[in-house]
Amino acid sequence: MLHVIGALSGETVLVHGASGAVGLSVIQQAMLKGVRVIGMASERSFPVLERFGATPVVHGNGLEQRVCELVPDGIAAALDTVGTDEAVNVSLALLADRGRIATIAAMQRSESADIRVIMGALPVSATYWDSVRAELIALAGAETLVGPIARTVPLADAIDALVLLEAGYPGDKFALIPYLATPMALSRCRPGRGTARAVRG
């Protein structure tokens, strides 16, 4: 997303939905490029954003003014990962250059608002991801680019995990694990097929 809006070192970018998986990845990649991020999210997500170096700002009425107070000289670009009217309207209000606003979610508004759309299905997006995939994998392998995990959950308990998430479970993401090293699971492992490793939640 950062390459689409041409984010440069020293610039400030507004990210709507910054606490989601895409938002957190954008924040980490921005930090590597020397780009400051103002991350829009709920207050309960502020610690996560701050942990990764973003400056948090709460969504809701007055968002435009709060961003202006944080960045008196103005933001250079905006990235939308949620697709709400608030995200699009605030981005349009803060930026005259529509070419520096991009969304992965506001498809219906994108054409009328004249903002850029990022989709994996688009040939240009697919070509770009092919070119950077190895680099991102290397960053993840070095733990320079991480996906925060609050707990791991056996796949069989996916419904229970969903209930917790819908109730507003505080924390990062859940990871569903197909097989956990329980006594029953271990008894099904065949010799020579690999070693099971216990994963704690």
**Residue 197 included in any domain:** no
Most confident of 87-96, 103-112, 132-141, 156-165: 87-96
Please count the CA atoms within 13 angstroms of the CA of 52 that sit on its side-chain side.
31
Same domain (yes/no): 105, 181: no
Same domain (yes/no): 124, 168: no
Q: What's the gap between Cα 10 and its chain centre?
A: 21
Please tell me the predicted confidence (pLDDT) of residue 68.
97
User: Does position 191 have pLDDT exceeding 60, yes or no?
Assistant: no
Per-residue confidence band for 81, with pLDDT thresholds at 50, 70 and 90? very high
The string of pLDDT tens digits covering residues 96-130 is 999 999 999 888 888 888 898 887 666 666 676 67
Most confident of 100-104, 176-180, 197-201: 100-104
Please tell me the predicted confidence (pLDDT) of residue 89.
96
Average pLDDT value over all residues in the chain: 81
Arithmetic mean of pLDDT, 29-52:
95
Q: How many domains does the chain have?
A: 2
Please tell me the predicted confidence (pLDDT) of residue 168.
66
User: Does position 188 have pLDDT exceeding 50, yes or no?
Assistant: no
Same domain (yes/no): 105, 31: yes
Per-residue confidence band for 182, with pLDDT thresholds at 50, 70 and 90? very low
Last residue of a domain, one of 87, 121, 141: 141
Instruction: List the domain range (segments joined by +) for residue 66.
Output: 12-141
Same domain (yes/no): 155, 134: no
Same domain (yes/no): 58, 104: yes
Same domain (yes/no): 18, 105: yes
**Residue 35 included in any domain:** yes
Same domain (yes/no): 23, 121: yes
Rounded to two decimals, the pTM is 0.72
**Residue 193 included in any domain:** no
Helix locations, the chain, DSSP H: 21-33, 46-51, 63-70, 85-94, 107-113, 123-141, 158-166, 183-187
Please tell me the predicted confidence (pLDDT) of residue 174.
75
Pick 170 or 128 by higher pLDDT.
128
Edge-to-edge strands, sheet with 116-117 = 55-58, 36-41, 12-16, 77-80, 101-103, 116-117
User: Which tokens belong to 13?
Assistant: 């970018």
